[in-house]
Amino acid sequence: MSGKLVLVLGDQLTDTLSCLAAADPKYDKVVMAEVLAEATYVRHHKKKIILIFSAMRHFADALRNKGWHVDYFTINDGLPDIATAVARSAAQHHSERVVTTECGEWRLDQEIRSWSTQLRMPVDILTDDRFLCSKSQFADWASGRKQLRMEYFYRDMRRQTGLLMSEDGKPEGGQWNFDADNRKRFDGSRPLSRPMQFTPDAITDAVIKDVESHFPDHFGDSTPFWLPVTRKQARQALAHFMDKGLPAFGDYQDAMTSADDFLFHSVLSPAINCGLLTPSEVCHAAAERYYSGHAPLNAVEGFIRQIIGWREYVRGIYWLTMPGYLEENRLDSHAPLPWFYWDGNTRMRCVSEAIRATREHAYAHHIQRLMVTGNLALLLGVDVKAIHEWYLAVYADAYEWVELPNTLGMVMHADGGYLGSKPYAASGKYIQRMSDYCADCPYAVNTAEQDNSCPFNSLYWHFIQRHEKRFANHPRMAMIYRSWNKMDSQKRSAILGRAERLLKNVENL
């Protein structure tokens, strides 16, 4: 008897995946494929491709060890897209239907939904129950609300999951959010905790060679490669972070230092987003560390908020608003993306450090992304789709469902405040407060109008001036405009002149 063909995608490497749970290894076959279209629709970082392909190959072996038949196509098989792989396997096994778990990107979702016609066989798309909030649940939560705010969604998710909730139904510690306690500048007073690093095995070594062969011109360094590529390794990395990083994560989660690229961050997002870890197990592991006294509440709450709050929230926004969300550009940002976003060749110390880390690791933590590379793109007015494609390409944890709302909404304020109430524009003073970058930078962080003034300072006031009509009456920005309007007119003119010169010579920053 012919069975179902079970399609497992590169970000679905979870043995409890809904499409696997709905199939039987006695009758059904699994298909997995490394294809050119998915590796090149943006020029993904080499390490991102290595992570996904290696994790896929390891996962296929794990499925075979559990009794599944797996048709696996490597990039060397030359398949152009996933549909070709599915068609080839379906024909070989005379499969009666395709079953898969809903994917993470609108583009691919639309392709898969066309397969019933293209492949002339039924395609069943099952709910991805690895997320704690389904698409329909989020749509119900959002329905009828004048404004969507992550904080209120997060509180509902805390109530739903019971994470960090006391027996009387109140949040642990008497408050929902300890973000105000999580803004310390790293002073070197405690030893740093690096994420656990793994030595590539034969499978990963082969993938590295394949990636260098097929994608030699893609951004990023392929080696050294150390990310977890198996469920076992990901669990080890999780335990390592819980022991070493989590206790200090809260205090320093917004800090940056040239002494280390990771500080106390977990670097677990690549493993979570490709399915080697589930958000539920990660959050429960963190909560257990609070209750056992091994990590303070501000660290555990801040970590859990990133996952059941922000991660689930942006996914809900993505599926609620696509495909129209991709076209949003409320601030009319159309400037070209500076080339130094690719080569890091800029005198701005903070930017060059963030891009160096990105090139080396396919990773930078959230403040480097939001307040350095993102803040600069906002102030420069970089084209929204260009910066979106950059973020999607260069980070190992970037899939469109999580990256696009963060970029268009939080970084570029292109959705007019749908995701975040005000733009995350900031001067160089923020970077000075949260890092040691400014000490080694040729630009002066304490001035805005001089020829050597920090570009963030000059560009910040230019951003404020050029968007005055939109933001002057914004309740959270009124104080900024009062300060700007009280400033000496000659100084204002000098700042704007400095900013205009920078905007005309962006590549020389």
- All structural domains of the chain: 4-126 (3.40.50.620), 135-197+230-321 (1.25.40.80), 340-508 (1.10.579.10)
Query: What share of the chain has pLDDT > 90, as a percent?
Result: 92
Q: Does residue 1 have a pLDDT over 70?
A: no
Angle between helices 82-93 and 106-113 (to 10 degrees): 30
User: Which residue has tokens 């404020």?
Assistant: 464
Predicted confidence at residue 420, as pLDDT, reads 85
Predicted confidence at residue 327, as pLDDT, reads 96
* Residues near 102 by beta carbon (within 8 Å), at least 6 away in sequence: 109, 125, 126, 127, 128, 135
| Contact indicator for 179, 185 with CB cutoff of 8 Å | no
Mean pLDDT of 469-491: 93
User: Which residue has tokens 């066989």?
Assistant: 121
3-state SS of 437-481 is HHHHCCCECCCCCCCCECHHHHHHHHHHHHCHHHHCCCCCCHHHH
| Contact indicator for 303, 350 with CB cutoff of 8 Å | no
CA torsion through residues 35, 40, 44, 45, sign: positive
Predicted confidence at residue 342, as pLDDT, reads 97
What is the four-CA torsion angle of 349, 270, 37, 359, rounded to 10 degrees? Answer: 20
Q: Render pLDDT for 454-469 as a digit per residue (tens, 0 to 9).
A: 999 999 999 999 999 9
Distances (CA, A) of 383 to 236, 388, 390, 398, 415: 40, 9, 11, 19, 14
Q: Give dist(CA 415, CA 396) in Å, integer.
A: 25
Distances (CA, A) of 375 to 47, 238, 282: 25, 30, 30
Q: Render pLDDT for 296-315 as a digit per residue (tens, 0 to 9).
A: 999 999 999 999 999 999 99
Which one has a higher pLDDT value, 167 or 128? 128
Roughly how many angstroms between the first and final C-alpha of the chain, as a whole number?
A: 66
Q: Render pLDDT for 57-69 as a digit per residue (tens, 0 to 9).
A: 999 999 999 999 9
Backbone angles phi, psi at 419, to 5 degrees: -90, -45
Chain mean position to CA 106: 16
User: Which residue has tokens 């400037």?
Assistant: 335
pLDDT band at 180 (very low <50, low <70, confident <90, very high): confident
Mean pLDDT of 133-144: 96
Q: Render pLDDT for 342-396 as a digit per residue (tens, 0 to 9).
A: 999 999 999 999 999 999 999 999 999 999 999 999 999 999 999 999 999 999 9
Predicted confidence at residue 57, as pLDDT, reads 98
Predicted confidence at residue 155, as pLDDT, reads 97
Q: Does residue 19 have a pLDDT over 90?
A: yes
| Geometric angle at alpha carbon 337, from 444 and 373, rounded to 5° | 50
Angle between helices 150-161 and 312-321 (to 10 degrees): 120
Token readout for 78 is 């030359």
Mean pLDDT of 74-78: 97
Residue-averaged pLDDT of the chain: 96
Q: Give dist(CA 74, CA 268) in Å, integer.
A: 26
pLDDT band at 318 (very low <50, low <70, confident <90, very high): very high
| Contact indicator for 180, 299 with CB cutoff of 8 Å | no
Mean pLDDT of 23-28: 96
* Residues near 436 by beta carbon (within 8 Å), at least 6 away in sequence: 186, 256, 257, 258, 259
What is the four-CA torsion angle of 470, 473, 478, 483, rounded to 10 degrees? Answer: 70
Token readout for 414 is 């292109």
Q: Does residue 2 have a pLDDT over 80?
A: no
pLDDT band at 127 (very low <50, low <70, confident <90, very high): very high
Q: Give dist(CA 82, CA 118) in Å, integer.
A: 12
Judging by DSSP bridges, how do beta strands 29-33 and 4-7 pair with one another?
A: parallel
Q: Which neighbouring-strand residues pair with 453?
A: 444
471, 157, 149, 486: which is closest to 331 by C-alpha? 471
pLDDT band at 114 (very low <50, low <70, confident <90, very high): very high
Predicted confidence at residue 187, as pLDDT, reads 85
Q: Render pLDDT for 420-429 as a digit per residue (tens, 0 to 9).
A: 889 999 999 9
* Residues near 295 by beta carbon (within 8 Å), at least 6 away in sequence: 242, 246, 247, 249, 286, 289
15, 106, 104, 113: which is closest to 67 by C-alpha? 15
pLDDT band at 257 (very low <50, low <70, confident <90, very high): very high
Q: Does residue 179 have a pLDDT over 90?
A: no
Q: Render pLDDT for 321-349 as a digit per residue (tens, 0 to 9).
A: 999 999 999 999 999 999 999 999 999 99
Instruction: DSSP for 39-62, please give it.
Output: HHTTT--HHHHHHHHHHHHHHHHH
* Residues near 356 by beta carbon (within 8 Å), at least 6 away in sequence: 344
Question: Beta-carbon neighbour count of residue 358 at 10 Å?
Answer: 27
